């Protein structure tokens, strides 16, 4: 007899968050991260995965509605965005979960789903040849060790940067004040200018989809995120925005002045946040996604902090409707691309 597996919508975010905490779920899946995205065209959704009536996993993300009024009224062009892969009590269920998810998403009338693999402990493999798969790497620092062992993992090049930071009389601070996002954006723009001067032309202030300053403020108010920064008499040369839920944390955005690059402020901030998270029971600090090629310096920096490199993937499902609606979706996406308001500054 077949075992009954099904995906159900969870209406109470508190129930979902409780399950995540018990099962070491990613910060990208919790309601504190997702709810600040809520607006006319975005709606958080929480999906539980049940076997024989017992919830053993699930996933959460955003319903994305088209901005075009006619397209929205039709209900045909909704899609789903998952910032991370699922949480599962048994990772051997991954393939069955993905199959059930595709069936459920199709039944609910969505056109497609995108599953980013950020902070996913087990790499997600494509459930079918029609899926688009993009590979990248992440860097994880294990904080479930004593601090002395973690410090020993920091390599010589980073130690030199930390020495410069101390000589510059930098002090490390943590803030959850939403007003400080103004400074964060200024430092991110400064980072963009530095990257442009070094030949990189793909900088975006906010690389996480649909993010803007108001989303960051909402996450800070929800207590899911924090701002770690370095400061001396000359001001704030570097700041890092991170999210933290349960035993896991993720470095999302970093901003730095030219002085910050020169005096080791970036490394100083990372080390300060590592120590802060370690004291607060975090066991896994993800330093963020990095492309497989063209970022060798960034990879070396993250490994210098003592991080282990892992591979991960983003999955984009095929259109889950017939060929006529597929063409309509492509037409709608073309129209949306011309109308989409730009809330981030690309460098």
The rounded distance, in Å, linking the Cα atoms of 20 and 338 is: 38
Identify the pLDDT of residue 197: 67
Using the predicted structure, report yes or no on whether residue 343 has a pLDDT greater than 50: no
Sign of CA dihedral 325, 328, 332, 333: positive
CA 64 to each of CA 13, 43, 78, 110: distance values in angstroms, whole numbers, following the listed order: 18, 7, 6, 10
The rounded distance, in Å, linking the Cα atoms of 214 and 184 is: 12
Q: What's this model's pTM, rounded to 2 decimal places?
A: 0.88
SS3 296: helix
DSSP string for residues in 166-193: HHTT-EEEEE--GGGHHHHHHHHHHHHH
The rounded distance, in Å, linking the Cα atoms of 261 and 238 is: 8
Q: What is the pLDDT of residues 159-197, one digit of tens each?
A: 999 999 999 999 999 999 999 999 999 999 998 887 776
309 touches 168 (CB < 8 A): no
Domain boundaries, the chain: 5-130+317-339, 138-311
SS3 255: strand
The rounded distance, in Å, linking the Cα atoms of 63 and 256 is: 33
Mean pLDDT computed over 39-54: 95
- Longest pairwise C-alpha distance within the chain: 71
Fold matches, 5-130+317-339 and 138-311: yes
Residue in 43, 48, 41, 47 with CA at minimum distance from that of residue 62 = 43
Residue 156's contacts (CB-CB under 8 Å, 6 or more residues apart) are: none
CB atoms within 10 A of CB 200: 13
The rounded distance, in Å, linking the Cα atoms of 114 and 121 is: 18
Is residue 207 very low, low, confident or very high in pLDDT (cuts 50, 70, 90)? confident
Instruction: Name the more confident of 156 and 109.
Output: 156
Q: How much of the chain, in percent, has pLDDT values that exceed 90?
A: 66
CATH 3.30.2090.10 fits 5-130+317-339, yes or no: no
Q: Which two tokens stand for residue 237?
A: 């040369």
Angle 213-221/181-197 helices, nearest 10 degrees? 130
The rounded distance, in Å, linking the Cα atoms of 56 and 93 is: 9
Judged by average pLDDT, the poorest of 93-102, 119-128, 240-249 is 119-128
CATH class, 138-311 region: alpha beta
14 touches 30 (CB < 8 A): no
- Report the Cα 157 to chain-centroid distance in Å: 27
Q: What is the pLDDT of residues 223-238, one digit of tens each?
A: 999 999 999 999 999 9
Is residue 135 very low, low, confident or very high in pLDDT (cuts 50, 70, 90)? confident
């Amino acid at each position: 007899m077949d075992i009954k597996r099904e995906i159900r919508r969870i209406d109470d975010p508190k129930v979902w968050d409780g399950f995540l905490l018990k099962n070491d779920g990613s910060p990208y899946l919790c309601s504190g991260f997702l709810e600040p995205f809520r607006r006319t065209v975005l709606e958080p959704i929480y999906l539980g995965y049940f076997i024989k009536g017992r919830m053993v996993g699930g996933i959460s993300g955003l319903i994305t509605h088209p901005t075009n009024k006619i397209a929205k009224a039709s209900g045909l062009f909704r899609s789903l965005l998952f910032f991370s892969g699922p949480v599962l009590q048994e990772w051997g269920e991954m393939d069955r979960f993905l199959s059930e998810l595709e069936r459920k998403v199709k039944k609910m009338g969505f056109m497609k789903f995108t599953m980013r693999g950020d902070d996913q402990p087990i790499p997600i493999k494509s459930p079918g040849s029609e899926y688009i798969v993009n590979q990248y790497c992440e860097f994880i620092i294990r904080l479930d060790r004593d601090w002395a062992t973690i410090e020993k993992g920091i390599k010589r090049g980073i130690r030199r940067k930390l020495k410069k930071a101390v000589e510059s009389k930098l002090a490390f601070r943590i803030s959850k004040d939403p007003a400080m996002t103004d400074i964060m954006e200024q430092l991110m723009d400064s980072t963009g200018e530095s990257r442009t001067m070094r030949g990189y032309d793909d900088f975006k202030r906010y690389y996480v989809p649909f993010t803007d300053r108001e989303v960051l403020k909402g996450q800070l108010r929800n207590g899911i995120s924090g701002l770690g920064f370095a400061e001396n008499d000359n001001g704030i040369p570097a700041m890092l925005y991170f999210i933290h839920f349960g035993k896991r944390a993720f470095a999302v955005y970093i901003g730095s002045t030219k002085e910050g690059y020169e005096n080791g402020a970036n490394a100083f901030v990372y080390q300060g946040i590592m120590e802060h998270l370690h004291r607060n029971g975090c066991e896994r600090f993800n330093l963020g996604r990095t492309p497989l090629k063209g970022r060798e310096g960034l990879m070396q920096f993250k490994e210098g902090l003592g991080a282990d490199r892992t591979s991960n993937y983003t999955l984009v499902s095929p259109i889950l409707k017939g060929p006529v609606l597929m063409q309509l979706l492509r037409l709608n996406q073309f129209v949306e691309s011309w109308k989409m308001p730009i809330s981030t500054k690309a460098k």
